[in-house]
Structures are given as structure tokens and as C-alpha cells.
Structure 1
Amino acid sequence: MTGDAGKKPTLTFPAGKPALTSSAQKVIEGSGTPAKDGDVLTANVTVYNWDGKQNKSPGSDYDQGKSEFVTVSPQLPKALHEALVGAKPGGRVLAVIAKDNLSADQINQAKQQGTDFNASSQVLVVDIVSAAAKAAQGSAVDPGLNGVKLENPGGDKAPTLTTKTAAKPPKKLVVKTVIKGDGPAVKADQTVLAHYIGKIWGTDKKFDSSWDRGEPASFALNQVVKGWAQGLTGVPVGSRVLLTIPPDLGYGKEGNSQGGIKGTDTLVFVVDVLGAA
């Protein structure tokens, strides 16, 4: 393998048939806190199809110019999970994913998509850029918005948002920084990793919460409601922000019946921006 961490790797494969057994190795050690289950890593992934013939790479995050989020989980193929546990920012790991790591359904699904694991393996090279915090860290300030109360317990605990009020909601988008992160500013075309709570102004009704689900969510900023796209663009990674979103920048006159949101509802979110890729 050639190429430093942070640059697209080039793999040279041994002659002959591919290995049809899975394996994992740490190629570059990196530094910092070793990854563990539940961690979300920002990483650059390069994939090769090891077929013993052309051994082509169907894709690399380096070609796209964007990183991706990888959650360390035992649900990953065993070799990839083994490679990622203990990996550190700045490090590079390699995993050979073969049929012994896959279920019959996964093998059949891959075959339909053009990869025959009975005759080939996949090789993943993962460059770890960083690991996301579990919550925004730092001393919090009062957002100073009449009608909204926010409690910040600190550490990795979820904030508490209260929106029960008789006060009239703001007519325009409001973005209040509660904790200012020290990461790079989020760009409008990026995918954001975030923990959030969403409530309806005046009723204190919670319609969504990643905290309740126990894991952060990732979403492309150009595919969410305008209030999120406008409100989070330019926010430094590591920040906690409070957003109040008027209907025209939320779900519009139609509202969102699934979430119990009417077309006249103003939405209030507290968002921890944990990563951007």
C-alpha cells in the first residue's frame, strides 16, 4: 500500500486468486483516544474489489472530496469492526471483507449489485479523521429568548428544552449560540452529524429527539427544511444552537401530520453540531 494518511491510498494486490477469508489490520497508528463501540468517526473510506483480475476501486471518499460518518458497532462486518475498535484519529486501518463475514442474504444482495463474494472479496481502507463528541462541550450561555427555557446539565447529558409559553413566537428565523464550538464552520453542501430535540412553540410538545433514540442523526443540509439549512450553515462544529423556525422555513402551510405539526406551528430546536463531512 502507498499513500500517507489523509491522501488516497493505492493498493497492490498479490498475484493469483483473492483471499476469501476476512482479516483486519491497523496500518497507521494515529494518536488520541482509541475508538470504542458507539463512537461515530469522521473518516475517508476507499473500497477495492479484490477479484484477482482487475482489482478495481469502485469508489473513494477522496474522489468525492467529502468524508463520511462511520459508527463503530458490532453490527458491522466482523473484520471492519475489529479494525475500527481501538483506531485513533490520524490512523489508517484496512479490512478484508469476505464471505465468512457476511450472511447469505448479504451475499445474495451483493451479487445482485455486481459483487460475487464466492469469487472475490472487498478491501476497505479507512482513514480516521476525527471522533465526534457525545454532546457539545463547554460552558453554556442563556439564549435569551422570551418564551423558551433551556437547561444545560453539561458533560454528555442531553439538554432540557421547554417551550410552554403564552409569548408570541418570532416571525423570522432565530439562531442563538448556546455553546460555541471550536471546529470548522459547517458548509451548506455538507452532511451534518447532530443530536437534537424538536418542540412546538407554545405547547411544549416534543415531536422528535435524537437523544431519545440514543444516537445522533446525520443529514445533508441541502435536503432538510430551510430553517435548518439556513440556521446551521456557518455554525462551528462542536456548537449547541437554539433555532426557532417559522412555518414558511419549516413544513409550510401543509405542516407535518406525522409529527403532529400544523401549518401555523413555529418549531423550536436545540441542536448539538457534532460533526460535518
Structure 2
Amino acid sequence: MRRRSVLLAVPALLLTAAGCGSKDDKSDAASSPSGSPSGSSAPSGSPSATPGTKIVGGPVPEITAGSAFNQKPTIAKGAGTPAKDLAVKTVIPGSGPTIASGDYVQVNYVGQVYDTAKVFDTSFGRGPYTNVIGQGKVIPGWDRGLVGQKVKSRVELAIPPALGYGSAGNSQAGIKGTDTLVFVIDVLQRFNGKSSATGAAVPQKDASLPKVGTNTDGKAPSIDVPKGAKGKAPTKLVSEYILEGDGAVVKATDNLLLQYKGVLWDTGKEFDSTYGRGELAAFPLAQLIKGWQQGLAGKKVGSRVMLVTPPDVAYGNKANNGIPANSTLVFTLDILALL
């Protein structure tokens, strides 16, 4: 099935006139399964159509095994008639921050059909799933059921058809238009415009390179280009850890969730920043400028990376949205998650 795009409009970083990637909508990561909570279109009962969705406490099926947080659960078949409204049960209360609409959440989950206990999808064993919540990018039952929950919570949802895949169902996943869906969701992390990388600081010993701030308070890190550096910019790509994380290694085919800031080497002038917009950037690495593709592949999630991109791996001899032709650019990028 077609999936919702994770690509956000990023003014300076699309390869088109607007920046480093394409403006066209692209699919989610290829590993996202056909029965995943991202739908091909917002079914009837989408958040925009039902702002007053009623939430009830049950019934939800019993979890019969795997009861610990982030342990794959086994879920019994539903007993009796499922609720016509969204049923939400917080199985394990979390101690982390509260999820708000517009936050990205990273979760592990199991999804099955209420009446039959047929499992149609799970992230356990495949790797966590990350997407934005409350914005119509996932099925409405997730949008409604996860907003207000806390990180480190286990939440069980029984989602009626109108808040799942609608009357059409999802034939590829074996979901009929009359099926109530059951999800057990472990909320691992939350990301928003105040998120930062979490890695350990790496010494910055090369005086000929810019120095980047190591703050992890969600504010934009400083980028200090060496004084008198005009005309002495590196002629080859520089990619250095500022904070080194311990997450998965980025592949060229990955979709990334990032905080970033970019300045001109010659002047130190900022030309783009997610911090200034108060929102994260999410896009396929393969659609970004060559300096990002080459400089981020092989780096670890949870890291802050400094890139110095000469013109041949940036925008070359063309000016672009406040970036003069033949500019060397300096970026600080926090790799928050894979999508």
C-alpha cells in the first residue's frame, strides 16, 4: 500500500531551488510493513473529521505473556463485543515526558485483529517505528490514543474500523473493513523541536576547523568558524563527530529525523536552521546534497555531526536561497532517529 510521506519542506536543504531534497512526496522507509499504522489515506473518522472522538477504558484483550515494558507481548482474542469508540488502557504508566500533537514518537508495537487474535504486524524483532503523532500521518486511533501518554508507557488500544483503515480495510494486511484492531504499544522515546543528540562529547582538536557547541538543551549549538579562515576553506568534505551516539549506523538508504543548522564558511552567517523554525526535519538521506549523503552515512544515531561541505558536494556554482555561488557550508546535525 502507499504510505504517507515523511518528507518535510525544508527551505534551504532541498536539491531543488528550495533546498537539499525533493519537494515531491516520497514513501516511508521500505521496511515499513503493509499493516503498519501509517495509512494510505486518512479513513473516515480521521482526526480532522472527528475532533471530539470519544475515548473509553475498554474492553481490551488480556496480555497473556510478555508483560514487561519493551518485551514482545502475546495478546488474547477479544472477549465479547468491542466498543464502538476508541478504547485506551495504559497498561504500564510511563515516567517520561508527555506526548503532544506534533511530537515524533519511537515505539515498539504488536497489532492484531480483535475477534481472531490474528497478528498482522509487529515491530518487535524488526526495530522500532518512528512517526509524528496527532498530524494525520498514522491511523486516527494512534493519533487519538497516544497523545497525552508518557514516554516509557505501555498502551493498549482497541481501534474501531472508522479510526483504523475505514470501511475499505487493508486487504494486503488481511484487515477487513469491519475489523476492530488491537495494538499494544511501548513508547520508547519522544522527539520534538526541543530535542538534541544524546551522545558523548568528542574532543575538537583541529584548530583549522569550526568549533561546534556541545549543549544538549534543545537550543541551537554555536558554530565558530576559525578567524581569518576566508579563503582557507577545506577543499574536501569534512565529517566529524561532535557528540558520538551509540545508536544504529546510518545507511545511505535510510530516512532520518534531524535537528540541524547551517552557516556560511566565509561569514559565519546562518542560512537555515530547524531550531529557528521550531520543528524537526525528516527526509530520505538519498535525496539530500552529496555532502550530507557522504558525510552522514556510517554515522550513529544519537550523534551530533559537523559537516564542512565544499561547493562540489553542496550547490556548486549556483546561488541558492541566500547561499552565494561557490560557497563552502558548515553544518551541525543531530541525528535523532531513523524513520
TM-score normalised per structure 1: 0.70
1:33 equivalent to 2:92? Answer no
The CA deviation at 1:255 is 5.5
2:49 maps to none
1:66 maps to 127
Which structure 2 segments of 5+ residues have no match?
A: 1-62
- Any idea what SS the aligned residue of 1:23 has? strand
How many residue pairs align between the two structures? Answer: 263
In 2: Cα distance, 1:62 partner to 1:260 partner: 45
1:127 maps to 186
1:88 equivalent to 2:166? Answer no
- Does structure 1 retain, via aligned residues, the 8 Å contact 2:263–2:271? yes
Cα 1:80–1:143 change in 2 (3 A) is farther
The CA deviation at 1:227 is 2.4
- Any idea what SS the aligned residue of 2:112 has? strand
- Any idea what SS the aligned residue of 2:124 has? helix
In 2: Cα distance, 1:256 partner to 1:62 partner: 46
The CA deviation at 1:72 is 5.0
1:271 maps to 333
- Any idea what SS the aligned residue of 2:240 has? strand
1:186 equivalent to 2:245? Answer no
Amino acid in the other structure paired with 1:130: Q
Out of 167, 170, 173, the residue aligned to residue 237 of structure 2 is 173
In 2: Cα distance, 1:112 partner to 1:36 partner: 28
Which structure 1 segments of 5+ residues have no match?
A: none
Cα 1:19–1:154 change in 2 (3 A) is closer
1:201 equivalent to 2:265? Answer yes
1:155 equivalent to 2:214? Answer no
Cα 1:154–1:9 change in 2 (3 A) is closer
- Any idea what SS the aligned residue of 1:14 has? coil
2:85 maps to 21
- Any idea what SS the aligned residue of 1:130 has? strand
Q: Cα deviations across residues 53-82 of structure 1 (Å, max 9, x unaligned)?
A: x5654433236x232224454878477544
Segment of structure 1 superposing worse, 10-19 or 21-30: 10-19
The CA deviation at 1:111 is 3.5
- Any idea what SS the aligned residue of 2:217 has? coil
Q: Cα deviations across residues 154-198 of structure 1 (Å, max 9, x unaligned)?
A: 6232124466962332121112333334x3253315443221012
RMSD: 4.0
TM-score normalised per structure 2: 0.60
- Any idea what SS the aligned residue of 1:62 has? coil
The CA deviation at 1:209 is 1.9
- Any idea what SS the aligned residue of 1:85 has? coil
In 1: Cα distance, 2:269 partner to 2:181 partner: 47
The CA deviation at 1:140 is 8.0
In 1: Cα distance, 2:121 partner to 2:265 partner: 44
- Does structure 2 retain, via aligned residues, the 8 Å contact 1:199–1:268? yes
Greater fraction of residues in helix: 1
In 1: Cα distance, 2:135 partner to 2:290 partner: 36
Amino acid in the other structure paired with 1:21: D
Amino acid in the other structure paired with 1:94: E
Cα 1:41–1:57 change in 2 (3 A) is same
Cα 1:121–1:244 change in 2 (3 A) is same
In 1: Cα distance, 2:288 partner to 2:184 partner: 31
In 2: Cα distance, 1:175 partner to 1:33 partner: 33
- Does structure 2 retain, via aligned residues, the 8 Å contact 1:26–1:83? no
1:211 maps to 275
- Does structure 2 retain, via aligned residues, the 8 Å contact 1:198–1:209? yes
2:197 maps to 136
Cα 1:49–1:215 change in 2 (3 A) is farther
In 1: Cα distance, 2:159 partner to 2:272 partner: 36
Q: Cα deviations across residues 230-266 of structure 1 (Å, max 9, x unaligned)?
A: 3234434433221112344345x58685x45577333
In 2: Cα distance, 1:223 partner to 1:272 partner: 18
Out of 42, 51, 58, the residue aligned to residue 106 of structure 2 is 42
Amino acid in the other structure paired with 2:336: L
- Any idea what SS the aligned residue of 1:211 has? helix
